[in-house]
Amino acid sequence: MTEVIRSGGLNNIESIEFEERCLEKARETGDRNREVISLGSLGNAYQSLGEYHLAIEFYQQWLDIAREIGDRLEEAKSLSGLGNAYQSLGKYQRAIEFYHQWLSITRKIGDRTGEGISLGSLGNTYEYLGKYEQAIEFYQQWLSLTKKTGDWTGEGLCLGSLGNTYESLGSYQLAIEFYQQWLGLAKFISDRNGQSMALSGLGGAYKALGKYQRAFEFYQRSLEIRRNLDDRNQEANAWFNLGLVLEKINRESEAMNAFCNAREIYHAMGLDASLQDCNHAIEFLSQNVATFASAFWFRKWLSHLSQSIKNVYK
């Protein structure tokens, strides 16, 4: 266990050691409620460390005991954890099975927050599988629920998810409509991160339509917000996106500068895969290649959105 824990930092070490002691004591005293809490905490700790198989072991024990004592809310949470762990392992069909069980329980017990997030998780997982129609179905259910409950944060995430899914289908005008709704809502609730993501989504959709000047305007506005937020990874993504569209409108020197800014941040953060994408862009631009195709933005977007959905239910 020591080898696993070291990479997670002191907080994870202390958390795991504390919960292991609590779990042992709970089992000695027969405190089933405390046992459930400790198992869930241990599963979450290992999930955050990327030790998904260990997380699954604890989530499964959590699920078994929650069912044994008839605690439906804890049962729902453990199913959520199992779904997230299997999704992180790339076992999407298995994740979907757990998410459906989670959704069913949230509806039975009237947990509207959990219902919304489980719908979002199902949509997100179907999107990973490229099953966009199914993803849209669950996102639409989620959107309807957020409007009923007044969950503006969830509504924003849902509008962004729908925009991204329609963009993946090539329905760029529909994507733009949802991104515009997201942008308006993000402004209304002063969500600067949401504004930047919505602007980036609009940039991507207009870029796909070949409207590069319009895309540039949205990407530039997204970057301006990003530079004032404490998220260097997303700032680098914004620079990268800006570089791609500057290249399209024949502003090569500015595109090179944007790519170099992105590369500097990626290098400082140790993001090797993103750094490689950036180096390829710079290499192609240096060789005056007219086109450069990259799945970079989609990967970053979906990863960020997936994590946003998961974090709400932790």
- Please indicate, yes or no, if residue 75 is contained in any of the structural domains: yes
Alpha-carbon distance 23 to 130, whole Å? 40
CATH code for the domain in which residue 15 is found: 1.25.40.10
- Please indicate, yes or no, if residue 43 is contained in any of the structural domains: yes
Per-residue pLDDT of the chain (314 residues; tens, 9 = 90+): 333 333 344 467 778 888 888 889 989 899 998 999 999 999 999 999 999 999 999 999 999 999 999 999 999 999 999 999 999 999 999 999 999 999 999 999 999 999 999 999 999 999 999 999 999 999 999 999 999 999 999 999 999 999 999 999 999 999 999 999 999 999 999 999 999 999 999 999 999 999 999 999 999 999 999 999 988 989 999 999 999 999 999 899 999 999 999 999 999 998 888 888 888 888 888 875 444 444 455 555 566 666 665 565 55
- Please indicate, yes or no, if residue 19 is contained in any of the structural domains: yes
> Would the CA dihedral through 272, 273, 274, 276 be positive or negative?
positive
Q: Has this prediction a pTM greater than 0.85?
A: no
Domains identified in the chain, total number: 1
- Please indicate, yes or no, if residue 87 is contained in any of the structural domains: no
Q: What token pair was written down for 133?
A: 């129609």
Long-range contacts of 301-305 (CB under 8 A, 24+ apart): 301/164, 301/197, 301/200, 301/201, 301/204, 302/124, 302/127, 302/128, 302/164, 304/197, 304/234, 305/124, 305/157, 305/160, 305/161, 305/164
- Please indicate, yes or no, if residue 42 is contained in any of the structural domains: yes
- Please indicate, yes or no, if residue 23 is contained in any of the structural domains: yes
- In the three-class reduction of DSSP (H, G, I as helix; E, B as strand; rest coil), residue 1 is classed as coil
What's the confidence (pLDDT) of residue 2? 31
Q: Which domain holds residue 60?
A: 1-82
Please list the alpha-helical segments (H only) found in the chain.
2-6, 10-29, 32-48, 52-69, 72-88, 92-109, 112-128, 132-149, 152-168, 172-188, 192-208, 212-226, 232-248, 252-269, 272-286, 296-312
Q: Which has the closest alpha carbon to 207: 234, 237, 229, 175?
A: 175
> Would the CA dihedral through 293, 297, 303, 309 be positive or negative?
negative
- Please indicate, yes or no, if residue 59 is contained in any of the structural domains: yes
One-character DSSP codes across 219-287: HHHHHHHHTTSS-HHHHHHHHHHHHHHHHHTT-HHHHHHHHHHHHHHHHHHT-HHHHHHHHHHHHHHHT
Instruction: For 171, list phi and psi in degrees, rounded to 5.
Output: -90, 75
- Please indicate, yes or no, if residue 142 is contained in any of the structural domains: no
